[in-house]
Structure 1
Amino acid sequence: MASSFLTWFWNERFWLPHNTTWADLRNTEDAVFAQATDLWIMFPYSIVLYGIRILIERLIARPIGRKLQISDVPNRPPAPNAVLEKVFYSITKYPDGERLEGLCKQLDWREHQVLRWFRRKREIDRPSKLMKFSETVWRFMFYVTVFIYGLYTTFQTDCPTNTRSCWEGYPDRQHLKPLNYWYYQTELAFYTSCTISQFFDIKRKDFWIMFAHHIATIFLIMFSYSINMLNVGMLIMLLHDFSDVFLETSKIAKYTKQETFATIGLISFATSFVLARIVYFPFWILYSIWFDAFDVVGPFPSWYIFCVWLAILQFLHIYWCTFIVKGFIRLFKKGGQADDERSESEVSDSEEDVDVTRARTESQGDGPGINGVTLRKAHK
C-alpha cells in the first residue's frame, strides 16, 4: 500500500522534465544529486538551531542588553476597571467608533485614556524589551552568517549575473555539492523552527501572513531540493536573507536608542527590500523561471506548481512593501525616528512612560480620578 502510494506520488511525469527519470538522478561514484530522502535531517537540525538560539540569547544577547541597560521589566497592567474589563473580554480588545465614544462618556474619560487602558491590557503578557532585544540579536547573527555563506555558495555559479545559466544542464548535469547541501539544510531547519517557535515568540500584526510565508518557504525549499532545482533555489534564499540583515540591524539600534543608526538601518532595509524583492526577484528570477526555464528545459507539471507558489510569494512581498511605506510615513511624522510598522508590541518610549499612579497623583491633583486611579501624561 505504502509502496503504491509512493510510486504514485513520485510520478516522474509530474516531477521531472520530459525524457528525464529518477534513475538519471541516482547517486554514483562520479556524481551526487539532491535526494528527497535527505530532507529528514531538517527535524533534528531545527532542534539544534533552536538550541543554538537559546544559548545565544541567554549567554550573549541578554548580558549585552543588561550592560546597555535595556529594560527587563515586564509590562505593567492597567488599573482595574469593571466596565472596560467587561468590554475587553466579552466584546472587543480594540474599541473604536461609537463604542469608544460611549465608553468615554460612561467613564468620563478622554479618548486617549481609554485607548491607553486597552493597549496596556493587551500588552500584559508581552515580553520585556530585553527579551525582544535578545530575539533580534539571534536573528541578526543568523541572517548575517547564512547570508555570507549563501553569497559565497551562490557565486560559485554564474546565476546571480546570468539567471539563464540556472537551467543549463538541468536536471541531470547539475550536481549536489557539500556547500549546496548545507545551505539548503540550514535554511530549511531555520524556517521549520521559526514556524513552531512563532507561536511562542513576540506576536505581530502580520502573524498569520508570516506563518503562511514560512509554510510557503518550507514548501519551496523542499520542492526545489527534491527535483534538484538548486541554483535558482539558492538565489531565491539569498535574496530574502539580504534585506533581513538590515531590518534586524535597525531594530538593534532602536533598542539601544541609537536613533540615527536605526533610521539608517530602516532606510537600508527598505532600499534592499525593494531592490531585491520588488525589482530583482520578479524581473530577473521570476522572468528566468517563467521564460528561460520554459525555453531551455521545457514545461512540465511540477514546474507550473513552482511558478504558482513563487507568484504567491511575490504577492506577499508586495503586501509587506505596504508596511514599509507606512513605516516611512511614520518615520517622517516622528521626525526621523525609526519603527517597525509590523510590530504591535513595540511601544515607543513616550508611550511607555504613561503609567498608573495612585497616591502621588491624587495628592497632587494632576487630573480626574477614576476608581481611585489617575493617569499622568507622558514625558516628552
Structure 2
Amino acid sequence: MAKEAPPQSVMERNACVSTSHRPAVKETTFREWVVDNQIGISLTILSMLLAVHHLYPSLRPYTTPFFQLSYYQSSQGVYVQGWDDIYFVASSAIAFTAIRAIAIDWVLRPLAIHAGLKRKASIRLAEQGWMWLYYAFFWTFGMYIWSNSNHWMDFGAIWDEWPARGVSGSLKWYLLAQLSFWLQQIFVINVEERRKDHYQMFTHHIITSTLLTSAYIYGFYNVSNVVLCLMDIVDLMLPTAKILKYFGYELACNVAFGVFMVTWLITRHIFYPQLCWSIFKNVPTRMSYGCYSGTTAEMISPDGYPDQLTHLFYPFLNIDGPICMNRTIKWIFLSLLLSLQALSIVWFAMVIRVAVGVLRTGNAEDTRSDDEDEEVEPRLSSKDGPIGSASNTDGTNPEWRRSNGSSTGRPRARGRVRLGEQSDRKALLGRIGCDKPT
C-alpha cells in the first residue's frame, strides 16, 4: 500500500494558494511613473524654486528669471532678448505640465463624468477641453496683440520695424509662453504612451520649436504673432466640434465642423500663403540686405555675407552683436514656413476626402462610448495638434461599424490613420468629424 503523504502545514497551504491564484503584477516603468505623477513633480519643482526665491534673498538674481520677464530697458520701455529667457521658458513648460494635468484630472474629467459620459469618453473629452481652453486664451490674446499693432491686416508692414529688437512685455510673454507650450508638447509625446504618428509629431514639434526660437532671436516678433494667430484659430475650432460630438449635439457638431473646414481654408490656404508671399516679395524691399548693430539697429555694413556661415549665428552668440539679413536667411525661414503649409495641404486633402466620402456613403458610427471594454484604464494623453496641423488626437481609435450594425471585428491601433483603406477613412472621420454616437 502506498505511503500516505504527510499533511501540509498552514503556511505551506497559504503559499500554494497565493502563488497559484495571485495575478502577476506589472512593474511600473519610470515613464509611467512620470505620467502618473505629473502634477506632483511639476508643483514640487515650482514650489522649491519659489521657496528658494523667498527664503534666500541673496539668490534672487538667479531665481527671478524663472518667474518674470528679463532684460527690461526702462529708458525705452521695451524688453530685449537674452540667455535668462531660457529660465522663463523652462518654468513655463513645467507650469503647463501641471496646469494641463490639473485641468484634465481635477476639473474637466469630473465634469464629463458628472454629465453622464463613461470613463474613456470622459478622458477624451477632458483632453479636448484642455486644448479648447489653451487655444481660446492664446488665440484671443494673440489677436488682441495683432489687432492693436501697426501691421494689422497689412503683411508688408510686418517688416518695417526690423531690425529693432525691443519688444513690448505682452508680446514677449506671449511668444515665450507659446514656445514653452510646444517644448512641453515634445515632453508629452515622449513620456506618454506612443502612437503610430509619434515620429511625425515629434519631428513637427521640433521644427515648430526651432522656428519660434529662431524667429524670436532674430527679432521676427511680428511675423511669429501673425503665424500663430492664423494657425491657432483652426486648432480652436476642432476641439469645439469634438466637445459637441461627445455631448451628443450632432447638429451643432456638424455646423462647427463645417465652420472648422471653412476657417482652415481661409486662414491656412489663403491668408497664410499671402504671408509667405510677403516674405518672398516684401522682405527684400522693406529690409535692406546687410548687417546691423544689435544695439542701435543701424546698418553697419551693406554686405549681408560677412563670412560663409558664422554670421547666421551672430544673434545667438551675442545679443548686442551684429545681426545680418540676406537671401539665405530669408529662404531658411521661408522654407520652414512653407513646410508647414505643405503639411497643412496634405491634412486638408485628407479632411476633404473624408467629408466627400461621408456625403456619398453616410456617417460612420462610433461604438466606443457605449461598448468598449472598461477593464483597462487608458493613460491620459493629449497629443495636441501642432501649429500646422488640426490632427488633435483623442485616444485610441474606436471599433468601427457601418450604420447597419455590422462590426469590423477588431479595434484599430493608435495614431493618425492612413487614408488608403475605407476603414481608415472612417476612423479618421471619428477623430475629426461628427459621427453619430450609437
Q: Would you call these one fold, judging by a TM-score over 0.5? A: yes
Measure, in 2, the Cα distance between the counterparts of 1:252 and 1:202.
23
1:347 is matched with 398
Aligned residue runs from structure 1 range 1-380, under 5 A = 27=73, 29-30=75-76, 32-37=78-83, 38-72=85-119, 128-172=120-164, 175-200=166-191, 206-282=197-273, 284-299=274-289, 300=326, 301-333=328-360, 335=362, 345-347=396-398
Determine if contact 1:191/1:218 at 8 Å carries over to the other structure: yes
1:257 Cα deviation from its structure 2 partner: 2.0
The answer on whether the counterparts of 2:104 and 2:130 sit within 8 Å (CA) in structure 1 is yes
CA 40–316 in structure 1, closer or farther in 2 if over 3 Å, else same: farther
Q: Is the 8 A contact 1:49 1:193 kept in 2?
A: yes
Structure 1 residues 147 and 337, CA gap change in structure 2 (3 angstroms): farther
Report the CA distance between 1:231 and its aligned residue: 0.7
Work out whether residues 26 and 33 of structure 1, in 8 Å CA contact, stay in contact via their aligned partners in 2: yes
Cα distance in 1 for residues equivalent to 2:258 and 2:288: 41
- 1:170-201 Cα deviation digits (max 9, x unpaired): 112x6310110111011111111112212355
What is the identity, as a one-letter code, of the residue corresponding to 2:277?
A: Y
Which of 325-334 and 131-140 deviates more? 325-334
Distance 1:278 1:204 in 2: 28
Structure 2 stretches lacking a partner, 5+ long: 1-70, 290-325, 367-389, 410-436
- Check whether the contact 1:323–1:342 (CA below 8 A) recurs between aligned residues: no
Alpha-carbon spacing, 1:45–1:334, altered in 2? closer, same or farther (3 Å):
farther
Whole-Å separation in 2 of the counterparts to 1:328 and 1:338: 14
The corresponding residue for 2:297 is none
Amino acid at match of 1:153: I
Change (3 A) 1:341 1:188: closer
Q: 1:143 to 1:337 in 2, by over 3 A?
A: farther
8 Å Cα contact 2:365-2:400 kept in structure 1? no
Q: Percentage identity across aligned positions?
A: 21
Q: Quick one: distance in 2 between partners of 1:170 and 1:330?
A: 47
Provide the C-alpha distance between the structure 1 equivalents of 2:80 and 2:254, rounded to a whole number of angstroms.
42
Aligned-pair CA distance for 1:329: 2.6
Which has the larger helix fraction? 1
Structure 1, unaligned stretches of length 5 or more? 1-24, 73-127, 357-378
CA distance in 1, matches of 2:138, 2:361: 34
Whether the 8 Å CA contact 1:203–1:345 is kept in 2: the answer is: no
Contact kept? 1:46, 1:192, Cα under 8 Å: yes
CA contact (8 A) 1:39 1:222 kept: no
The separation in 1 between residues aligned to 2:95 and 2:151, in whole angstroms, is 31
| Matched residue type, 2:331 | Y
Q: In the aligned structure 1, how far is the partner of 2:239 from the partner of 2:346?
A: 19
Q: Using a 3 Å threshold, how does the CA distance of structure 1 residues 194 and 33 change in structure 2: closer, same or farther?
A: same
Query: What TM-score does the superposition give when structure 2 sets the normalisation length?
Result: 0.57
Q: Do the aligned partners of residues 231 and 330 (structure 1) sit closer, same or farther apart at CA in structure 2, a change above 3 Å counting?
A: same
Determine if contact 1:263/1:337 at 8 Å carries over to the other structure.
no
Quick one: structure 1 residues 294 and 243, their matched pair in 2 at CA, closer, same or farther if it must change by over 3 Å? same
Say whether the 8 Å CA contact 2:364–2:401 is kept in structure 1.
no
Please report how far the alpha carbon of residue 33 of structure 1 lies from its aligned counterpart in structure 2 after TM superposition.
4.5
- Supply the distance in 1 between the matched residues of 2:255 and 2:86 (Cα, whole angstroms): 39
Residues 153 and 34 of structure 1: is their aligned pair in 2 closer, same or farther, counting only changes over 3 Å?
same
| Larger relative contact order (Cα-Cα within 8 Å, sequence gap ≥ 6) | 1
**1:140, CA displacement in angstroms?**
0.6
Whole-angstrom distance in 2 between the partners of 1:196 and 1:333? 41
CA distance in 2, matches of 1:233, 1:130: 34
Count of equivalent residues = 277
Distance 2:365 2:208 in 1: 28
Cα pair distance change 1:333/1:220, threshold 3 Å: same
- Alpha-carbon distance in structure 2 between the residues aligned to 1:333 and 1:41: 51
Cα deviation for residue 293 of structure 1 reads 1.1
Structure 1 CA distance, aligned partners of 2:241 and 2:80? 37
Question: C-alpha offsets along residues 229-278 of structure 1, whole Å, 9 cap, x if unaligned?
Answer: 11111000111111111101011112222211221121111111111111
The 3 A distance-change label for structure 1 pair 280 and 258 is: same
Distance 1:26 1:197, change over 3 A: closer
SS at match of 2:78: coil
Contact 2:244 2:250 in 1 (8 A): yes
Structure 1 residues 261 and 26 mapped into 2: Cα distance closer, same or farther (>3 Å)? closer
Q: Which amino acid aligns with 1:193?
A: Q
Give TM-score, length-normalised by structure 1: 0.66
